[in-house]
Chain A
Amino acid sequence: MTIGIKKVARPREMSFPESLYLVEIVKGLGVTMGHMLSNIVRQEGIKTIEYPEVRREMPPRFRGCHRLMKREDGSPRCVACYCCATACPAKCITIVAGESPDPGVEKYPVRFDIDMLRCVFCGMCVEACPCDAIRMDTGWFTPPDDTREKLIFTIDTLLEK
């Protein structure tokens, strides 16, 4: 036997009734009608998830929308160091720093906006953060909305998540 030649199973020759296609087409119609009827009768059997009303269960380490962490007294953990904004490759984080009323803390973010339409969900901001103030563990990606403005998340929405 010659080396490198492999016998491949070819489809068998069609019999005469099969080559007329008529019976085979009727069989095919039966298959599709079966699918349709079973899907009409058992709507819950359809695999489609009706996003956004129904949400898929994401794996626990899914890297999704951001949230800002709080200290025990409820103030944001963020010290407005700009590390995340610097690390961000999409330049989607806007921070405006202000002087903190707490004498032990130097700065706090007056504004902390994330443009979710520009974010690429790379997770660099989380890695860059020195005080674990930003996390991406909300388990969901950008929700659908009808204006661009609603998808620029401000500090209040980020803290609530």
Chain B
Amino acid sequence: MTGPLFDIAVAVARIAVFFAFCFGLVVVMTWVERKGAAYIQDRRGPNRADIFGIRAWGLFHPLADALKFLFKEDFIPDNAHRLFYQMAPMFSLAPAILGIAIIPFGPDVTVMGRTIALQIADLNVGILYLFAVSGMTVYGVVLAGWASGSKYPLLGGLRSSAQMLSYEVSMGLSLLGVFMVFESVRLSQIVAGQGGLLFGVLPKWGVLVQPLGFILFLVAQYAEANRTPFDLPEGESELVAGYHTEYGSFKFSMFMMAEYLHMVVGAAVVATLFFGGRQVPYLGGAGFLFPGGFAVAVPPALVLLLRIGAFVAKVVFFAWLYVWVRWTIPRFRYDQVMRLGWKVMLPLSLLNIFATGLIMLLLKG
């Protein structure tokens, strides 16, 4: 294949593979959520859907759910604003999908003499693109809340917009420390920067150089994704289902997909920024090199697989952490969310920036 054709083929293949990976994970996560919740609460969870008598621990339930959503009546309530009501699920899902674009899934690979980055687009604005895109999610929620023409979605949309705007601030500020340490906003360079060693012993992962930033970012991310303990925009006990109360059939499932896609992309971002992305501790291009001078040679193909595997494992762990936290912590009250966001998270993230700058100045000086 020649130049431009090869480039187009590579671009399409990358988009297809990463898209399929994220959506596959979304499908599995819906099952993990239900089954994990059941086992945490001493129940059995979904186990009825079967194909030819094979039940496989309820693994076919996501398929059954999808079929059910597809075949349900596409209903629009009388009071709804018809255009905005139908736009809202798209505005909710699209930003979540766009987030996949900048995540580096693995190291560069060489195919037919050309180096290919396992990243759809290595933008020079990097993580700022993610903020810009995920900030648009709030439009979907607000549109859904307002266009439904019903009181519970409106309240849910209001809560959600206030919450997302509040936590957007500390989410952005909590990452400034990472940018200062790795001196870039490009995700590929942040990942490359985490390959080094800290004091010659520990891997230089974001979580070790920015522990406070990690905690703040994780909390802000849970608030952004509307996940427990910040799921009060869709608090069942108060608001029926919040902003998507009036939605049914595939429009509802688009909201669900958006929520789980946010979890997957969020997990990938946390893994990339704070847990070294593709980096395996002490693994270099030729093999493991442990601090004591002890080295193990690893063939390059295995290094590649180890690195992609490390990234996938980190993403799966953080996606599971969303579920794990959901079934552990109860929901915050609205005033507690606001107090945490403005009075705790914001000052702490500013303090984190100040402390990071001070330490870097002292170490350099």
- Does A46 contact B324, Cβ atoms closer than 8 Å? no
Kindly state whether residue A96 has any CB partner on chain B within 8 Å.
Answer: no
Contacts of A47 in B (CB 8 A): 42
- Does B328 contact A25, Cβ atoms closer than 8 Å? yes
Nearest chain A CB to B10's CB is how many angstroms away? 41
Residue interface bits A50-77, CB-to-B below 8 A is 1, else 0: 1000000000000000000000000000
- Does A32 contact B43, Cβ atoms closer than 8 Å? no
Contacts of B39 in A (CB 8 A): 35-36, 39-40
Cα distance, A118 to B141, chains bound together (Å): 44
Kindly state whether residue B98 has any CB partner on chain A within 8 Å.
Answer: no
Contacts of B327 in A (CB 8 A): 32
Kindly state whether residue B341 has any CB partner on chain A within 8 Å.
Answer: no
Kindly state whether residue A48 has any CB partner on chain B within 8 Å.
Answer: yes
Number of interface residues of B (CB under 8 A): 13
- Does B324 contact A29, Cβ atoms closer than 8 Å? yes
Residues 290-320 (chain B) with a chain A CB within 8 angstroms: none
- Does B44 contact A36, Cβ atoms closer than 8 Å? no
Kindly state whether residue B36 has any CB partner on chain A within 8 Å.
Answer: yes
Determine the residue in chain B with the shortest Cβ distance to A50: B44
- Does B44 contact A22, Cβ atoms closer than 8 Å? no
Cα distance, A40 to B36, chains bound together (Å): 10
- Does A46 contact B43, Cβ atoms closer than 8 Å? yes
Nearest chain B CB to A146's CB is how many angstroms away? 14
Kindly state whether residue B128 has any CB partner on chain A within 8 Å.
Answer: no
Cα distance, A142 to B319, chains bound together (Å): 42
Kindly state whether residue A28 has any CB partner on chain B within 8 Å.
Answer: yes
- Does B42 contact A39, Cβ atoms closer than 8 Å? yes
Residue interface bits B321-358, CB-to-A below 8 A is 1, else 0: 00011011100000000000000000000000000000
Residue interface bits A32-48, CB-to-B below 8 A is 1, else 0: 11011001100000111
Cα distance, A34 to B41, chains bound together (Å): 11
Cα distance, A50 to B328, chains bound together (Å): 26
Cβ-neighbour of B40 out of A22, A25, A35, A48 (below 8 A): A35
Residue interface bits B185-207, CB-to-A below 8 A is 1, else 0: 00000000000000000000000
Nearest chain B CB to A70's CB is how many angstroms away? 38
Cα distance, A7 to B103, chains bound together (Å): 58
Kindly state whether residue A31 has any CB partner on chain B within 8 Å.
Answer: yes
- Does A31 contact B328, Cβ atoms closer than 8 Å? yes
> 15 interchain pairs (CB within 8 A)?
A22-B215, A25-B329, A28-B328, A29-B325, A29-B328, A31-B328, A32-B324, A32-B327, A33-B40, A35-B39, A36-B39, A36-B40, A39-B40, A39-B42, A46-B42
Top-9 shortest CB links A-B: A36-B39, A39-B39, A32-B328, A28-B328, A32-B40, A48-B44, A36-B40, A29-B328, A35-B40
Q: What would 10 more interface pairs be, CB under 8 Å, given A28-B329, A29-B324, A48-B43? A: A25-B325, A28-B328, A29-B325, A33-B324, A35-B42, A36-B36, A36-B40, A46-B42, A46-B43, A50-B44
